[in-house]
A = this chain, B = another copy of it.
Amino acid sequence: MHVMDMPLLSLLERLARLVHSESHAAGLKPVQWDILRFLAQANRFSRTPSGLTAYLGQTKGTVSQSLKALEDKGLVEKHPQPGDKRGVDVRLSTAGRAMLTQDPLAAFMGGLDGFGLEDRQTLEALLSRYLTGLLTARQGRMFGECRQCRFFQASASQGPYFCGLLKQALSEEDSRDRCVEFELIC
A111 touches B123 (CB 8 A): no
- Which residues of chain B have C-beta atoms less than 8 A from A120's C-beta? 8
- Which residues of chain B have C-beta atoms less than 8 A from A58's C-beta? 21
Nearest B residue (CB) for A41: B4
Q: When each residue 1-40 of chain A gets 1 if its CB lies under 8 Å from chain B and 0 otherwise, what string results? A: 0111011110111111111111000000010001001001
Q: What is the CA–CA distance of A11 and B11 in the complex, to the nearest angstrom? A: 14
B7 touches A108 (CB 8 A): no
Q: Contacts A57-B22, A131-B15 given: A7-B137 contact, CB under 8 Å?
A: no
Q: Contacts A11-B131, A127-B11 given: A18-B57 contact, CB under 8 Å?
A: yes
- Which residues of chain B have C-beta atoms less than 8 A from A100's C-beta? 2-3
B8 touches A109 (CB 8 A): yes
Q: Is A105 an interface residue (CB 8 A)?
A: yes
Q: Contacts A112-B8, A138-B107 given: A131-B3 contact, CB under 8 Å?
A: no
Neighbour of A122 across the interface among B18, B30, B122, CB < 8 A: B122
Query: Which residues of A approach B to under 8 Å, CB–CB?
Result: 2-4, 6-9, 11-22, 30, 34, 37, 40-41, 55-58, 100, 103, 105-115, 119-120, 122-124, 126-131, 133-135, 137-138, 140, 143
